[in-house]
């Protein structure tokens, strides 16, 4: 016997899930010239990759943004993860 649970899914989550399914079925994303320009602009403005992905649409992921920025040769940015001075100098513990 199976039970069905009915619940409301927020529209944003439904869009993201739909986009993930579409990506899995359709293969790699073809970046448009406009998407690449927007990515480069937001990248130079210092926006986090997750925010850039969200701004580019529900079909975009953080990892897609990072990969494309790397392939476009956009300048590296400092890691958002703060390390202590000891760790930065290679002395941990």
Query: In which band, very low, low, confident or very high, does the pLDDT at 2 lie, cut at 50, 70 and 90?
Result: low
Q: Are 93 and 75 within 8 A, CB to CB?
A: no
Q: What is the pLDDT of residue 28?
A: 78
- With 80 as the cut, is the pLDDT of residue 54 above it? yes
CA gap 66, 64 in Å, rounded = 6
Query: In the numeric block, which tokens belong to residue 87?
Result: 């760790």
Query: In the numeric block, which tokens belong to residue 91?
Result: 């002395």
Q: What is the pLDDT of residue 43?
A: 97
| DSSP type of residue 76 | P
Cα R_g (the chain), whole angstroms: 18
* Count of positions (residues) in the chain: 93
Q: Mean of the pLDDT values across residues 73-79? A: 90
Residue 40 exposure: Cα atoms within 13 Å on the Cβ side: 11
- With 60 as the cut, is the pLDDT of residue 58 above it? yes
CA gap 85, 50 in Å, rounded = 27
């Amino acid at each position: 016997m199976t039970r069905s649970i009915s619940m409301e899914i927020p529209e944003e989550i439904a869009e993201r899930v739909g986009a993930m399914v579409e990506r899995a079925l359709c293969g790699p994303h073809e970046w448009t010239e406009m998407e690449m320009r927007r990515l480069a602009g937001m990248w130079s403005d210092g926006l986090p990759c997750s925010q850039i992905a969200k701004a580019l649409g529900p079909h975009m992921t953080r990892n897609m943004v990072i990969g494309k920025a790397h392939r476009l040769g956009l300048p590296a940015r400092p890691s958002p993860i703060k390390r202590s001075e000891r760790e930065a100098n290679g002395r941990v513990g």
